[in-house]
């Protein structure tokens, strides 16, 4: 190779070096958190390109999120520049969508198929459960959905399942019917659900060897990050792709007419070289069908595979690592590997027990502010929790304390009803066969078209062999009264107009902004926006803002993808996953679940809600291997931290409108006491000592033995909730820290504040205003309190008055 490798290999330890430079059919890199697995994968790609051992288009790299894919691509481009163009670096789902869009016509779909996210498929399943009257057999939409998903992840289908199911059981028969019907409906709608994206690609490769051979010849190097979380379908996909192409397979480049250099080392007919990296201690998706055996049996599946182990952690200080090692050491059935770091002990882990979740959140907000003053940027701090609903208390306190934050995942923008409606409008244009999308917008805004009318339209379409959408184009034939006829004609006209804008006749070049323009037409001419604007519901105001934001997203997309079509746009939106936020403003703290945190790293990390029933989560109790998977999840959480780790919990937690007493998580006990500096420990807190020892006694008494019980979490029943008496000191504590958030939100919109003003805050006491920044509802007072230190307060809602 002409260009040097030195910068690529600089600073690697010997094992990393081997992982980057090894050449052979199969390479497995197993190592704990932060040991450079992802970095090694990235450099390996760069090294293949730099040495001209591979053409960019011969590389397929799989990451766990789109965001991770973007970062990897950027890193490779930094290392090798333009030579990186044409690589496929993407998630499993994105890669399969690309393949399916090219090949869908082979098996009865069109290129513009819709992707159903889990909400979409839930809606379809709900309808089918109703139609099949399946609830009479105890089948709920949720249970049917998760069973279907599980089966698809194992590459099973309704037919295969029926063959080994007990079909004399009526519930099983109904389930098989539902599954088959669900699949028929998807096909009819020209749609794939998330699991199908993978499963149908595998099917495609198996049923059409020519297609498979094309991709086998194309991809010479396949690299997979986070391999411990692949499920069987993903495993099969990798297997299909790494098989040798048969000798008579067409050469995909033969007719391309492109000048390419001849790859030097990889004979074209050998199977692709496969590199996978993973950490079985970070396997956290078993509940979604991920199979740790994909790692442990790698050597059997790929004979002759080279295995490289990495042990040095480059991310965290030793105190953080020691805590992580101690926790994960409690999982049995694992290979012991001890991570070490040469970064020194670093700061101790900080522990805090709040009286309530708001008190806990206030601790987090205060710590964030003091770290900020110590020079940590907000973007280098992250707050993790086990369940999405825990974010609310944090958000409320952050808003009041003017801590800028963003939520990764959570109540996702794309899950809001109004955005779903807008998307359905777009889908109705892009893929008119998608009956569910067309039905969704039929009466949005209200047009007086109810379920009965919709069913009649569907029946008409069925009888005439046309689609639901086509039936809307012949409103006078449908046999409805003039009002409904007019409403349908109007909807049809709006869809037709948008179609003309977004899908111009072949040959015409669409202008770059057409998706946004088409969307605007759909939202305004359909009357959707007007209906929201006319409403008095303040939530509808927010909905209008969200839709504006969505149109802005479409414009951004057009700017970044001058040739992007409506189908490209819908694909991008459908694949936005938990860890991806389109609005990636720096300068804010990231909030996310521990699942979403996988693979990421931050200078300062807050793991909140470290309580029994949350982590380990209540539902894990009855699952085989459940508590062990929860321990891995906690391990993932704490190993994200570079320098500062905070573990916090609350004594009481309000959930679903009930306040319950929370117990410290068993995982806290697994961390050597000397590593944690408790600011306010479970023991310090009034009444907490009693609760904690009760929890410990229960554990010693074998209450946590995991008897493979009913799954109702009843093994916690051995720890009785405190009776009235023991609740007393608790409520005194609560009085000291009134639950600020459930109090009615105040509105200080008019309060004028200037530097030098003295104010009084209900919790922090008196203080002096140093500065006022921001405007309108976002005005922030920077206050130096006489005893509570410096705070930033959102003036509009802070409980303050001028004195
Ligand atoms: P995880 O298991 O959490 O996904 P990982 O094994 O993929 O972690 P990386 O994210 O690749 O680890 O690396 C962790 C950190 O260590 C990164 O900041 C990376 O830049 C750094 N790093 C990796 N290898 C080295 C090295 N040889 N020298 C210095 N820093 C390194
Ligand atoms: Mg990684």
Active site residue 38: yes
The predicted model scores a pTM of: 0.74
Please identify, by atom number, the ligand 1 atom nearest to the C-alpha of residue 42: 11
The reply to whether ipTM tops 0.95 is yes
The CA distance from 82 to 415, in Å, is 37
Is-catalytic flag, 513?
no
What pLDDT sits at residue 801?
86
* The predicted structure's pLDDT at residue 247: 64
Token pair listed for 723: 């009776």
d(CA 644, CA 666): 22
Q: From CA 584, how far away is CA 677, in angstroms rounded?
A: 34
Buried/exposed 438-464: b ≥16 CB within 10 Å, e otherwise: bbbbbbbeebebeeebbebbbebbeee
Is the peptide bond preceding residue 576 cis, with omega within 30 degrees of 0? Answer: no
Tell me what pLDDT residue 744 has. 33
Burial environment of residue 358 by CB neighbours within 10 A (0 to 12, 13 to 18, 19 or more): buried
pLDDT at 591: 92
Residues 274-315 have pLDDT tens digits of: 999 999 888 888 777 777 778 878 888 888 899 999 999 999
336 as an active site residue: the answer is no
How far, in Å, is the centroid of ligand 2 from the Cα of 38?
4
Distance 316 CA to ligand 2 centre (A): 14
Nearest protein Cα to ligand 1, atom 20: 39
Rounded distance between C-alpha atoms, residue 514 and residue 181, angstroms: 36
Q: What does the alpha-carbon distance between residue 197 and residue 95 come to, in Å, rounded to a whole number?
A: 9
> Is 595 in contact with 284 (CB distance < 8 Å)?
yes
- Quote the pLDDT of residue 484: 93
Strand 800-802 and strand 758-761: pairing?
antiparallel
Is 640 one of the catalytic residues? yes
If we measure between CA atoms, which residue out of 382, 790, 764 comes closest to residue 604?
382
Closest C-alpha residue for ligand 1 atom 4: 599
Spatial separation of the C-alpha atoms in residues 110 and 431, rounded to whole Å = 9
- What strands, in cross-sheet order, belong to the sheet with 405-407? 405-407, 589-593, 381-385, 602-607, 641-650, 349-354, 676-680
Distance 34 CA to ligand 1 centre (A): 5
User: Is the preceding omega at residue 580 within 30 degrees of 0, hence cis?
Assistant: no
Bridge partners of residue 224, in order along the sequence: 62, 276
Question: What atom of ligand 1 comes closest to residue 313's alpha carbon?
Answer: 16
Per-residue confidence (pLDDT) for residue 583, from 0 to 100: 45
What whole-number distance in Å separates Cα of residue 148 and Cα of residue 143? 9
At residue 249, the pLDDT reads: 52
What pLDDT, on a 0 to 100 scale, did the predictor assign at position 196? 95
Q: What is the pLDDT of residue 510?
A: 52
Which residue's CA is the nearest one to ligand 1's atom 23?
A: 36
Note the pLDDT of residue 602: 96
Catalytic option among 37, 420, 688, 715: 37
Nearest CA to ligand 1 atom 15: 315
* Residue ranges in the chain modelled with pLDDT below 70: 1-5, 247-269, 409-413, 504-513, 537-539, 542, 576-586, 655-658, 683-749, 777-778, 797
- State which residues have CB under 5 angstroms from ligand 2, the bound ion: 37-38, 599
Q: What DSSP state is assigned to residue 256? A: T
Ligand nearest to the CA of 32: 1
Establish whether 225 is a catalytic residue.
yes
DSSP letter string over 635-693? Answer: HHHHTTEEEEEEEEEESEEEETTEEEE--B-HHHHTS-GGGEEEEE-TTTSTTHHHHHH
């Amino acid at each position: 190779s002409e260009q040097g490798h030195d910068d690529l290999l600089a600073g690697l330890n010997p094992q990393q070096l081997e992982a980057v430079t090894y050449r052979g059919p199969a390479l497995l890199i197993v190592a704990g958190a932060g040991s450079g697995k992802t970095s090694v994968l990235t450099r390996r790609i760069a090294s293949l390109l730099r040495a001209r051992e591979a053409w960019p288009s011969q590389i397929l790299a799989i990451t766990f999120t789109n965001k991770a894919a973007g970062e990897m691509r950027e890193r490779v481009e930094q290392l090798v520049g333009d030579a990186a163009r044409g690589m496929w670096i993407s998630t499993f789902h994105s890669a399969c969508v690309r393949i399916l869009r090219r090949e869908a016509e082979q098996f009865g779909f069109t290129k513009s198929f819709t992707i159903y996210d889990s909400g979409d498929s839930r809606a379809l399943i709900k309808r089918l459960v109703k139609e099949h009257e399946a609830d009479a057999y105890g089948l709920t939409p949720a249970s049917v959905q998760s069973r279907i998903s599980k089966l698809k992840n194992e590459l099973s289908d309704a037919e295969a399942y029926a063959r080994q199911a007990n079909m004399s059981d009526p519930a099983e028969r109904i389930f098989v019917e539902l599954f088959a019907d669900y699949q028929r409906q998807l096909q009819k709608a020209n749609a794939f659900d998330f699991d199908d994206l993978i499963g149908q690609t595998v099917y495609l490769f198996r049923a059409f060897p020519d297609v498979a051979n094309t991709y086998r010849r194309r991809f010479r190097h396949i690299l997979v990050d986070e391999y411990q979380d692949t499920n069987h379908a993903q495993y099969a996909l990798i297997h299909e792709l790494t098989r040798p192409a048969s000798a008579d397979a067409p050469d995909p480049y033969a007719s391309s007419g492109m000048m390419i250099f001849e790859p030097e080392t990889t004979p074209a007919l050998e199977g692709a070289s496969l590199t996978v990296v993973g950490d079985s201690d970070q396997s956290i998706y078993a509940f979604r069908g991920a199979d740790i055996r994909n790692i442990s049996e790698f050597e059997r599946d790929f004979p002759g595979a080279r295995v490289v182990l990495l042990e040095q952690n480059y991310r965290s200080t030793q105190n953080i690592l020691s805590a992580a090692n101690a926790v994960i050491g409690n999982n049995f059935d694992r290979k012991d590997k001890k991570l070490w770091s040469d970064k020194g002990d670093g700061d101790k882990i900080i522990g805090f027990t709040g009286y309530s979740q708001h008190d806990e959140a206030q601790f987090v907000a205060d710590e964030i502010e003091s770290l900020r003053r110590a020079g940590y940027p907000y973007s280098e701090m992250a707050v993790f929790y086990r369940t999405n609903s825990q974010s609310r208390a944090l958000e409320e306190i952050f808003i009041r304390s003017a801590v800028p934050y963003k939520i990764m995942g959570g109540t996702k923008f794309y899950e809001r009803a109004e955005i779903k409606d807008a998307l359905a409008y777009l889908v109705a244009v892009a893929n008119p066969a998608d009956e569910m999308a067309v039905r969704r917008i039929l009466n949005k805004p209200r047009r007086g078209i109810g379920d009965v009318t919709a069913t009649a339209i569907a029946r008409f379409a069925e009888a005439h062999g046309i689609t639901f959408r086509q039936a809307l184009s012949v409103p006078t034939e449908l046999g409805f009264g003039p009002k409904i006829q007019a409403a349908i004609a109007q909807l049809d006209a709006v869809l037709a107009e948008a179609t003309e804008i977004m899908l111009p006749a072949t040959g015409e070049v669409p202008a770059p902004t057409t998706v946004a323009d088409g969307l605007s037409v759909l939202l305004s001419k359909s009357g959707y926006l007007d209906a929201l604007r006319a409403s008095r519901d303040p939530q509808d105001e927010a909905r209008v803002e969200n839709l504006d934001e969505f149109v802005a997203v479409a414009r951004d997309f057009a700017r970044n993808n001058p040739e992007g079509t409506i189908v490209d746009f819908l694909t991008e939106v459908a694949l936005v996953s938990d860890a991806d936020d389109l609005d990636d403003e720096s300068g804010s703290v990231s909030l996310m679940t521990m699942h979403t945190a996988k693979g990421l790293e931050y200078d300062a990390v807050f793991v909140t809600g470290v309580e029994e029933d949350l982590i380990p989560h209540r539902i894990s109790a009855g699952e085989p291997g459940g508590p062990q998977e929860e321990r891995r999840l906690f391990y993932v959480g704490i190993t994200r931290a570079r320098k500062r780790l905070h573990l916090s919990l609350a004594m009481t937690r309000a959930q679903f409108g009930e306040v319950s007493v929370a117990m410290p998580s068993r995982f806290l006990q697994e961390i050597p006491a000397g590593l944690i500096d408790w600011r306010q420990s479970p023991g310090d807190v009034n009444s907490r000592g009693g609760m904690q020892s009760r929890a410990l006694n229960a554990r010693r008494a074998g209450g946590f033995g995991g008897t493979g019980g009913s799954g109702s979490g009843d093994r916690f029943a051995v720890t009785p909730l405190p009776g009235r008496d023991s609740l007393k000191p608790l409520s005194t504590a609560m009085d000291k820290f009134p639950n600020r958030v459930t109090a009615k939100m105040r509105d200080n919109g008019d309060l004028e504040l200037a530097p030098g003003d003295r104010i009084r805050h209900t919790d922090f006491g008196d203080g002096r205003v140093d500065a006022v920044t921001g405007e309108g509802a976002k005005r922030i007072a920077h206050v130096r309190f006489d005893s509570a230190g410096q705070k930033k307060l959102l003036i509009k809602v802070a409980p303050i008055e001028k004195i």
